[in-house]
Structure 1
Amino acid sequence: MKALGVARSTVYYKPRPVTAEDLKLMHRLNELHLEHPFAGARMLRDLLRREGVAVGRRHVATLMKRMGIEAIYRRPNTSKPAPGHKVYPYLLRGVKIERPNQVWATDISYIPMRRGFVYITAVVDVFSRRVLAYRVSITMEAAFCVEALEEALAKYGKPEIFNTDQGSQFTSLDFTGALLDAKIAISMDGKGAWRDNVFVERLWRSVKYEEVYLKAYDNVSEARASIGRYLAFYNGRAPAFEP
């Protein structure tokens, strides 16, 4: 793709096939996860059953994994990086964030469409809450996360610290290599940590309730364009960014 000058995330124009029943379940799981971020597969199964949806815990867990969501709560850090991936220590404990370009953060979220779904990643300045760059893709491969990172660096300089979770996209050599090349300190949350990704979680809540749940995107291009317009509006409500 690099030889052609085409971003890898832009060539995925069709969402992966999923049964209509599973799509409906995934859309509802997405809503329930925002309302109850501490809920695991067992609790989500019970919530669905209260709504008359007969589904097993294992199937809920499978769909959650496909969506890239998990319960957020305090627990010991027992996660392990993907083979060959290094996990970096958490650097934000006790740090007072008081200026732009001090700390950036990123995350990935699931976005439902009319007949499928996509993923979104965004780079956020923690102090100003502004979205510095984003990408939409039908896969959770590291490439679209790296593209968003590179765009943010090109437009806004660089932060002192970049915070992520321990997802394989963010522990990948491509992603951490881009940060190390720019001499940015890498900070990583404990897997599922309740406190650390709150800034980006607030963004996802706004994106979904103010944009995604009010729309029914027909395709990836429409989703990308509509979300882009919303994020421009979202940034307009945030303090001016002064790198």
Structure 2
Amino acid sequence: MAERKKFDKAFKEQTVEKILAGETTASLMAKEIGVHYSTVRDWLIAYEKDGSSAFPGSGNLKPDDDEIRKLRRELANLKEENEILKKAGGLFCEKSEINKFNFIYKHRFIFRIAKMCQALQVSRSGYYAYFSRSESNRSKSNRELLETIKEIHKKSHGIYGAPQITKNLPENQKASKGRVARLMKANGIRSKVSKKYKATTYSNHSLPVADNILNREFTASRPNQKWVSDITYIPTKEGWLYLAGVMDLYGRRLVGWAMANHMRTELVSAALNQAIGRTGAKEGLIIHSDRGIQYASNDYQNLLKRYGFVCSMSRKGNCYDNAPMESFWGKLKMEWLNDYNFETRAEAKKAVFEYIELFYNRKRTHSANGYIPPFVLKEIS
């Protein structure tokens, strides 16, 4: 019998807040995070009933009332209309509706067609009639393929280049990498460029350290065989937000994470406890980290002993001994966080949650996995 998954309060709060903010529905969110709809529904009921005491140890956050949620939806509609008008403002001077129809078609995966027709003062029936006219098969195929490329590129937040977009094309639109690359180049679509970053822990201490048992063997034949862990930090105008992560080397799935305004031992312990609760990892698992004082501390080492885990640590000053986690931090920041300028830690937490749980684990394809997302690879193993 499969073990019951356990989710900590931080995971539940981030999930519920996205739904209450009107960004998604309970059923869609349940599919995104891989839990049953009734579980998410129970979280919502508890949170709306008990507020800050809905989950043990939660903060003083309270769910928005109906009036605030209604106002947020109205503001979202106004924001969408303003964005349409900003992009299409020059079209109001044109007498012809053709350019307006082309604008609507080009942006149909960004804005709602009905909303664009309303903002541009054209009829939906006229729009659909215009695009029902015949065109060459090749032109139609390239146009449809280009829109699919744009959609995949947008959903990846500009991360994917031609190889990954080619792998993610639907079965009825399979095309060569060269054709995809040509369409991308002609339309100015390209993947993001990496930016440098630095993450560190304090390793100048007198606590005992473990041998490097992992020894850069970054492959695993099954889930919960080898884990790696590390800490990084994210700047906000409120101050640093520290993030601890635990990755399963089988499929490179992030199985545990924790965020706080400090980088004490409690942070790495919370990430490890989340990973254990969600996976049910057993005795004998190798968990690797650097020599930071958090990982060498008595509290953390006692946690490993309690579950019978084998501790492994990098050699001093050698970041390559923990390359998968270093690589993940680079992806997180280059693909996601560098696009933001966070006002608060709460904003940064939301962005991290969305990247790890809604994109990286469940949607982001990996060449090392045969272009299969980590969560999908785990499910079929």
TM-score by length of 2: 0.43
Q: Give the superposition deviation at 1:86.
A: 2.1
**1:86 counterpart residue number:** 208
User: Distance in 2 between the 1:144 and 1:115 partners?
Assistant: 19
For residues 6-65 of structure 1, give each alpha carbon's deviation from its aligned partner in whole angstroms, at most 9, with x where no partner exists.
37xx79xxxxxxxxxxxxxxxxxxx5445xxxxxxxxxxxxxxxxxxxxxxxxxxxxxxx
Is residue 271 of structure 2 the alignment partner of residue 148 of structure 1? Answer: yes
1:70-149 matches, within 5 Å, as: 82-83=205-206, 85-93=207-215, 95=217, 97-149=220-272
* 8 Å CA contact retained: 2:233, 2:242: yes
- Contact map agreement 1:113 1:216 (CA 8 A) in 2: yes
Match of 1:209 among 334, 338, 346: 334
Cα distance in 1 between the residues matched to 2:288 and 2:201: 18
Q: Which has the larger radius of gyration?
A: 2
Higher relative contact order at CA 8 Å, sep ≥6: structure 1 or structure 2? 1
Tell whether the 8 Å contact from 2:210 to 2:313 is kept in structure 1 after alignment: yes
Distance in 2, matches of 1:6 and 1:134, equals 17
Q: What is the alpha-carbon distance in structure 2 between the residues aligned to residue 171 and residue 94 of structure 1?
A: 20
Which amino acid in the other structure matches residue 183 of structure 1? G
Say which of 262, 281, 285 aligns to 1:158: 281
Once the two structures are aligned, what percentage of the paired residues are identical?
28
1:196 aligns with 2:321: yes
Q: Is the 8 A contact 1:118 1:220 kept in 2?
A: yes
Structure 2 SS opposite 1:121: strand
AA of the residue aligned to 1:68: T
Bigger proportion of residues as strand: 1
Q: Which whole-Å deviations, capped at 9, do the CAs of 1:181-237 have from their partners, x for residues lacking one?
A: 000111111122142111001110111011111011111111111210111201112
1:235 and 2:358 equivalent? no
Letter in 2 for 1:6: G
Structure 1's 189 and 208: CA in aligned 2 closer, same or farther, altered over 3 A? same
Question: Aligned-pair distance for 1:94?
Answer: 7.2
* Residues 112 and 212, structure 1, Cα contact 8 Å, conserved in 2: no
Distance 1:100 1:192 in 2: 28
CA distance in 2, matches of 1:179, 1:140: 19
In structure 2, stretches of 5+ residues that fail to align are 1-55, 61-194, 365-372
Are the counterparts in 2 of residues 162 and 185 from structure 1 also a CA contact under 8 Å?
A: yes
Distance 1:94 1:121, change over 3 A: closer
- Per-residue Cα deviation, 1:64-92 (whole angstroms, up to 9, x for no partner): xxx6369xxxxxxxx76x34x32111112
The aligned residue for residue 200 of structure 2 is 68
AA aligned to 1:161 is I
Distance 2:302 2:270 in 1: 13
Unaligned runs of at least 5 residues, structure 1: 12-30, 35-66, 71-78
Equivalents in 2 of 1:125, 1:139: separation in Å?
Answer: 24
State how far apart, in whole Å, the 2-side matches of 1:99 and 1:225 are: 30
